[in-house]
């Protein structure tokens, strides 16, 4: 039973374009929503995170939008670069336990 649903499964974007990844959750006990970036053969690395009392958080080219009433959150990657090509996972935390989405493979074409 997937507690966090993520879409799309993959996306291709041109260099300089915007990548958008969406996630939805059901469990209202989640109180922290991180996004992880994973390169092939590596572990997931924290990219950016948000708490549910904030509707948007921006760090450089990465922005999280959070809609508490809809129980949805999304990652926007602005001005996508070839180095952003990776798999992105949304996650939601309850206490110490992270529940991950299935991942989105982003390919940025030069």
By CB under 8 A, name the binding residues for another protein. 4, 6, 31-32, 36, 41-46, 89, 91, 95-103
Closest CB to another protein among residues 32, 71: 32
Minimum distance from residue 15 beta carbon to another protein (Å): 26
Please report how close the Cβ of residue 105 comes to another protein at its closest, in angstroms.
Answer: 9
Smaller CB distance to another protein: residue 6 or 63? Answer: 6
CB 10 within 8 A of CB 105: yes
Question: Rounded CA gap, 35 and 48, in Å?
Answer: 6
Cβ-based nearer residue to another protein, 18 or 74: 74
Output the smallest distance, CB 96 to another protein, in A: 5
From residue 20, how far is each of 2, 13, 41, 95, 97 by CA, in Å?
21, 10, 24, 27, 25
Distances in whole angstroms, Cα of residue 32 to Cα of each of 16, 35, 94? 29, 10, 7
How far is the C-alpha of 55 from the C-alpha of 66, rounded, in Å? Answer: 5
Closest CB 79 distance from another protein, rounded Å: 26
């Amino acid at each position: 039973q997937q507690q966090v649903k993520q879409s799309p499964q993959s996306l291709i974007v041109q260099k300089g374009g915007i990548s958008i990844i969406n996630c939805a959750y059901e469990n209202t006990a989640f109180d922290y929503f991180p996004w992880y970036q994973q390169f092939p053969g590596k572990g997931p690395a924290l990219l950016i995170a948000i708490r549910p009392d904030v509707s948007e958080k921006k760090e450089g080219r990465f922005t999280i939008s959070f809609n508490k009433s809809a129980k949805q959150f999304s990652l926007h990657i602005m001005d996508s670069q070839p180095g952003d090509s990776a798999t992105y996972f949304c996650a939601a935390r309850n206490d110490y336990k992270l529940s991950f989405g299935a991942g989105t493979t982003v390919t940025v074409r030069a």
